[in-house]
Amino acid sequence: MTTLIRNAWLLPCTPDMAVIEGGHVLVEDGIIASAGPGEGPPRPGAELIDAGGDIVMPGMVNAHAHLPMTLFRGLGEDVDDRLFRYVLPMERRFVSPDMVRIGTALGAWESIRAGVTTVADMYYFETEVGHVLDEAGLRGVVGQTIADFDPPDHDSIDAGFALTEKLADTFAGHDRITASIAPHAPYSTDIPVMARVARWAEDHPDAPVQIHLAEMRSEMDWAERTHGCRPVETVDRAGLLRDGLIAAHCLYLDDAEIARMAAAGVRVAHNARSNAKAGRGIAPVDKMRAAGIPVGIATDGPMSGNTLDLFAQFGPVSMFAKLLGGSRKPMPAAEVVRMATAEGARVLGLDDRIGTLTPGMAADLIRISLDAPRLQPVYDPYATLVFAAQPEDVTAVMVAGRWLMRDRQVLSLERAKVLRDAGQIATQFRAEMARIDGDET
Amino acid sequence: MTTLIRNAWLLPCTPDMAVIEGGHVLVEDGIIASAGPGEGPPRPGAELIDAGGDIVMPGMVNAHAHLPMTLFRGLGEDVDDRLFRYVLPMERRFVSPDMVRIGTALGAWESIRAGVTTVADMYYFETEVGHVLDEAGLRGVVGQTIADFDPPDHDSIDAGFALTEKLADTFAGHDRITASIAPHAPYSTDIPVMARVARWAEDHPDAPVQIHLAEMRSEMDWAERTHGCRPVETVDRAGLLRDGLIAAHCLYLDDAEIARMAAAGVRVAHNARSNAKAGRGIAPVDKMRAAGIPVGIATDGPMSGNTLDLFAQFGPVSMFAKLLGGSRKPMPAAEVVRMATAEGARVLGLDDRIGTLTPGMAADLIRISLDAPRLQPVYDPYATLVFAAQPEDVTAVMVAGRWLMRDRQVLSLERAKVLRDAGQIATQFRAEMARIDGDET
């Protein structure tokens, strides 16, 4: 199948972050055959699309999420102890392969609607997450969580590794779904488990490792109390501070740790909104990037950040850097878009396949309308994307040459079923919250 | 005309921030006759609307904006000296009654689309702003700017007061448009002009006073250099730190100044996104509110904050308070919605007419659909509004009993004309930017 898009305001997200008016993209067999100014090479019989001056850019990369947690969106909002009061007991009771599939489908719908084409996920029953993302046509890095707190899908570390092995087998050689291993966090795996993960990763060089790192004060306290050091040091002692490690959050880093992570080839997923909503702080993104650490933009789970669209992250990513820097200059809009595309792809180790619109890359692309009066006038498309655009403005989404959304209609998932299934789980959750609140009074 | 809305998820924004499932609102002659649980009193012949479980709440109040600056949206984004490089010279050259009308119409369209029913504005040729808001059916507090830097519409302070007098005459006794006087900032009016404003305000007790205050480091330096004190003190020396003063920004306040402003009856417009985007800092909102200062949510001009919808402010307002407080607890979602409605109305001195859905208040209300998958599930409507909802979710807007939008269609402005007029101005702006950039190279 061949598709030729013309008359696009093309943002290929190449290193120069060029803006090409009146550009084209030619897609052949799921791969970008040509992208640049002008009408492109003639291809008789190709599906021809006039973008009418709309933005066409790479699909966005969500560098860290817990998709099934869409079902917890807004639950216990503002309740300071909600993790122990609601979330952990409810996860233990309700998380099942079915619940994971239903939550992932809701998250996949939202991701497609918002122009996110690749999601790095970590949760439980992660093979199910992979299956649903695959069916939805999305690209995913799916990380099986391993933790020592008796999580819903494994009662021992051995069982956690067995799930991971099954996940890796299931998606071996898959074009869009990449299996990943996800030790939950230093405090919930400790050094011996992280060391075992490092050995597993040596044997599975195609599987990225994802971890929560330097996210909480209590994590700093744990590292100091248990090992007399900081969290990054515990990861290093385990041999896990290695090329390709995807570290989520990274709020509490000193300059020496940043240099050490950069030298080791670690990549970071920046969860601006989630971290701020928890009152935890602002990750030193400019410092990390200046040191050479690739940093992607991430939503975290919808319990923490409430949405899975990167537009809602763009403002915070830019504003927080400007607040830390004390001027309007840090983190220009084009850099935010770079982090959401090419740099995000690099964080996930997928930059040989996605992140830019250049020949040979997979055809993961989105089309964004600038028609809404709230976007007008447009002097700089990056400023418009970062500070004014919203998921509603995304009109079409293609992954690996397949249209997942056209004319704002998601094609690869059934909206009514997604909502009905999610509604049934939410009803159970509401009853359980009432029971928990009732027990207490 | 009588309208009865039933089956609403009613958020009346009364002091208890109650949530009423299956509620009703009865509107008679532009006034709320009844609002609460159940079906409401029977009114044969009334227009009957089944809200289908949608949220119905007061129209939102934007406590500080420069509507005509929609035309500058995103212009020179990230250029650190853009104010002196582009904005001030371009304002001097292009700001005219026509430009003000065109920019205000674009801003009014965006406001209605996003469920904002009242805007406090300050700009030039403000009588034109008032006319356009009136025609659009919105409610407005329209402040004529007075400044000593030779602004586009007055070459002397006397001329500025003449414009203000005309504005006050034009809208005397108007139901929805309230004339206001807007000394630009302490550094651009100095104490004698602020003192004259204070006397003018004494003679015009219905006209609120709006000012930019404690917004910039350079303002602090000016006050120290010129008067050996801080900006709040200069306002007080002028006799302008008075009941009903609407102070925008208020980033740099110490505890004593907060107490002084609270005692004087000053109100504050919080421009979270605009202040952060400029790298200036975070206003101490929790401290101000704890001291009894009413604080409203504001977008600032779209050159600073890029949009005129309060949804884009909700995340920052909440996140910034949580960051300052260091936990998830400060600024719960319901408080954010209170600031956007009842408290915003109090900031503008309109709380006898708008801000809550209670009998006797003007029928300024909006309807919000929860259908979008990205909003589901909904456990707490306030969390949904603050952390996930977007302008697109607003489906209907009523001001003083008149529908300004239904089924997501703005009824009181002509979309094509609004966009065409704005596009023509933007073309002139682009040419001027090219000229400025060309002159330099």
> Do B381 and B256 fall into the same domain?
no
Strand A116-123 relative to strand A139-146, pairing: parallel
Q: Could you tell me the pLDDT band of residue A243, with boundaries at 50, 70 and 90? A: very high
Smallest CA–CA separation between A279 and chain B, in Å?
4
More confident call, B251 vs A84: B251
| A contact residues 145-164, partner B, Cβ 8 Å cutoff | none
CA distance B289 to B338: 12
What residues form DSSP beta bridges with B3?
B27, B47
Asked if residue A156 is part of any domain, the answer here is yes
> Do B75 and B208 fall into the same domain?
yes
Mean pLDDT of B402-430: 98
What residues of chain B lie within 8 A of the CB of A377, using their CB? 71, 73-75, 422-423, 425-426, 429
Q: How far is CA A414 from the centre of its chain?
A: 22
Q: Is B433 on the interface with A (CB under 8 A)?
A: yes
Burial status of residue B38 (CB atoms within 10 A of its CB: 0-12, 13-18, 19 or more): exposed
Asked if residue B19 is part of any domain, the answer here is yes
Query: Residue A84 pLDDT > 90, yes or no?
Result: no
Asked if residue B127 is part of any domain, the answer here is yes
> Do B24 and B161 fall into the same domain?
no
Asked if residue B425 is part of any domain, the answer here is no
Query: Residue A308 pLDDT > 70, yes or no?
Result: yes
Q: What CATH number has the domain bearing residue B16?
A: 2.30.40.10
Please write down the HEC assignment for all residues of chain A.
CEEEEEEEEECCCCCCCCCEEEEEEEEECCEEEEEEECCCCCCCCCEEEECCCCEEEECEEEEEECHHHHHHCCCCCCCCCHHHHHHHHHHHHHCCHHHHHHHHHHHHHHHHHCCEEEEEEEECCHHHHHHHHHHHCCEEEEEEEECCCCCCCCCCHHHHHHHHHHHHHHCCCCCCEEEEEEECCHHHHHHHHHHHHHHHHHHCCCCCEEEEECCCHHHHHHHHHHHCCCHHHHHHHCCCCCCCCEEEECCCCCHHHHHHHHHHCCEEEECHHHHHHCCCCCCCHHHHHHCCCCEEECCCCCCCCCCCCCHHHHHHHHHHHHHHHCCCCCCCHHHHHHHHCHHHHHHCCCCCCCCCCCCCCECCEEEECCCCHHHCCCCCHHHHHHHCCCHHHEEEEEECCEEEEECCEECCCCHHHHHHHHHHHHHHHHHHHHHHHHHHC
A110/B373 touch (CB, cutoff 8 Å), yes or no? yes
What residues of chain B lie within 8 A of the CB of A415, using their CB? 373
Mean pLDDT of A27-34: 98
> Do A27 and A90 fall into the same domain?
no
What pLDDT was estimated at residue B185? 98
CA distance B270 to B303: 16
CA distance A417 to A105: 9
> Do A368 and A316 fall into the same domain?
no
Question: By CA distance, what is A323's nearest residue in B?
Answer: B279
Question: Which amino acid does the sequence have at B210?
Answer: Q
B77/A333 touch (CB, cutoff 8 Å), yes or no? yes
Number of domains in chain A: 2
C-alpha angle B93/B97/B98, rounded to 5°?
Answer: 90
Question: pLDDT > 70: what percent of chain B?
Answer: 100
Asked if residue B441 is part of any domain, the answer here is no
CA distance A344 to A299: 12
- Phi then psi for B53, rounded to 5 degrees? 85, 5
A110/B383 touch (CB, cutoff 8 Å), yes or no? no
A328/B425 touch (CB, cutoff 8 Å), yes or no? no
| Mean of all residue pLDDT scores within chain A | 96
Tokens of A57: 């850019």
Mean pLDDT of B128-143: 98
What pLDDT was estimated at residue A304? 85
User: Strand, coil or helix: what is B212?
Assistant: strand
Query: Residue B441 pLDDT > 70, yes or no?
Result: no
A379/B415 touch (CB, cutoff 8 Å), yes or no? no
B77/A392 touch (CB, cutoff 8 Å), yes or no? no
> Do B205 and B227 fall into the same domain?
yes
Q: Which of A331, A347, A363 is the last residue of a domain?
A: A347
What pLDDT was estimated at residue A81? 83
Q: Could you tell me the pLDDT band of residue B82, with boundaries at 50, 70 and 90? A: confident
Query: Residue A291 pLDDT > 70, yes or no?
Result: yes
Strand intervals (E) in B158-233: 177-183, 210-213
CA distance A394 to A374: 14
Question: Which amino acid does the sequence have at A76?
Answer: G
What residues form DSSP beta bridges with A296?
A269
> Do B269 and B137 fall into the same domain?
yes
Q: Is A204 on the interface with B (CB under 8 A)?
A: no
Q: Which of A329, A347, A365 is the last residue of a domain?
A: A347
Q: Under a CB-based contact definition with an 8 Å cutoff, are residues A421 and A343 in contact?
A: no
Q: Which contiguous run of DSSP H or E holds residue B60?
A: strand B60-65
Q: Could you tell me the pLDDT band of residue A24, with boundaries at 50, 70 and 90? A: very high
CA distance B328 to A80: 6
Q: Under a CB-based contact definition with an 8 Å cutoff, are residues B301 and B277 in contact?
A: no
> Do A108 and A17 fall into the same domain?
no
> What domain range includes position B338?
60-347
List C-alpha distances in Å: B379 to A67, A74, A108, B125, B277: 18, 6, 20, 46, 32
Asked if residue B437 is part of any domain, the answer here is no
Altogether, the residues listed in chain B come to a count of: 441
C-alpha angle A192/A195/A201, rounded to 5°?
Answer: 145
Asked if residue A435 is part of any domain, the answer here is no
**Residues whose CB is less than 8 angstroms from the CB of residue A84 and which lie 6 or more positions away in sequence, other chains included:** none
Q: In 3D, which of B167, B111, B166 has the Cα closest to residue B136?
A: B111
ipTM of the complex: 0.96
What pLDDT was estimated at residue B439? 77
Asked if residue A433 is part of any domain, the answer here is no
CA distance A330 to A323: 9
Query: Residue A111 pLDDT > 90, yes or no?
Result: yes
Q: Which of A295, A315, A347 is the last residue of a domain?
A: A347
Question: pLDDT > 90: what percent of chain B?
Answer: 95
Interface test with B, best of A21, A55, A67, A78 (most B CBs within 10 A): A78
CA distance B73 to A424: 43
CA distance B272 to B320: 8
Question: By CA distance, what is A114's nearest residue in B?
Answer: B374
Question: Which amino acid does the sequence have at A169?
Answer: D
Give the model confidence (pLDDT) of B39-77 as tens digits.
999 999 999 999 999 999 999 999 999 999 999 999 998
A384/B74 touch (CB, cutoff 8 Å), yes or no? yes
Q: Under a CB-based contact definition with an 8 Å cutoff, are residues A130 and A177 in contact?
A: yes
What pLDDT was estimated at residue A110? 98
Burial status of residue B149 (CB atoms within 10 A of its CB: 0-12, 13-18, 19 or more): exposed
Q: Under a CB-based contact definition with an 8 Å cutoff, are residues B182 and B146 in contact?
A: yes
What pLDDT was estimated at residue B361? 98
Mean pLDDT of A62-77: 96
> Do B74 and B204 fall into the same domain?
yes
**Residues whose CB is less than 8 angstroms from the CB of residue A1 and which lie 6 or more positions away in sequence, other chains included:** A27, A28, A29, A30, A47, A401
**Residues whose CB is less than 8 angstroms from the CB of residue B371 and which lie 6 or more positions away in sequence, other chains included:** none
Q: What CATH number has the domain bearing residue B319?
A: 3.20.20.140
Residue for token pair 């990750």:
A283
> Do A193 and A269 fall into the same domain?
yes
Q: In 3D, which of B167, B178, B307, B186 has the Cα closest to residue B249?
A: B186
Question: pLDDT > 70: what percent of chain A?
Answer: 100
Question: Which amino acid does the sequence have at B159?
Answer: A
CA distance A112 to A136: 9
Strand B20-28 relative to strand B31-37, pairing: antiparallel
Mean pLDDT of A350-362: 98
Query: Residue A440 pLDDT > 80, yes or no?
Result: no
Q: In 3D, which of A413, A254, A392, A342 has the Cα closest to residue A13?
A: A342
Give the model confidence (pLDDT) of B292-306 as tens digits.
999 999 999 988 889
> Do A26 and A64 fall into the same domain?
no
> Do B152 and B275 fall into the same domain?
yes
Compute chain A's Rg from CA coordinates: 21
What residues form DSSP beta bridges with B362?
B31
Rounded to the nearest 10°, the torsion over CA B313, B353, B56, A79 is 50
Give the model confidence (pLDDT) of B85-114 as tens digits.
999 899 999 999 999 999 999 999 999 999
Beta-carbon neighbour count of residue A327 at 10 Å?
Answer: 11
| Mean of all residue pLDDT scores within chain B | 96
Q: Under a CB-based contact definition with an 8 Å cutoff, are residues B323 and B286 in contact?
A: no
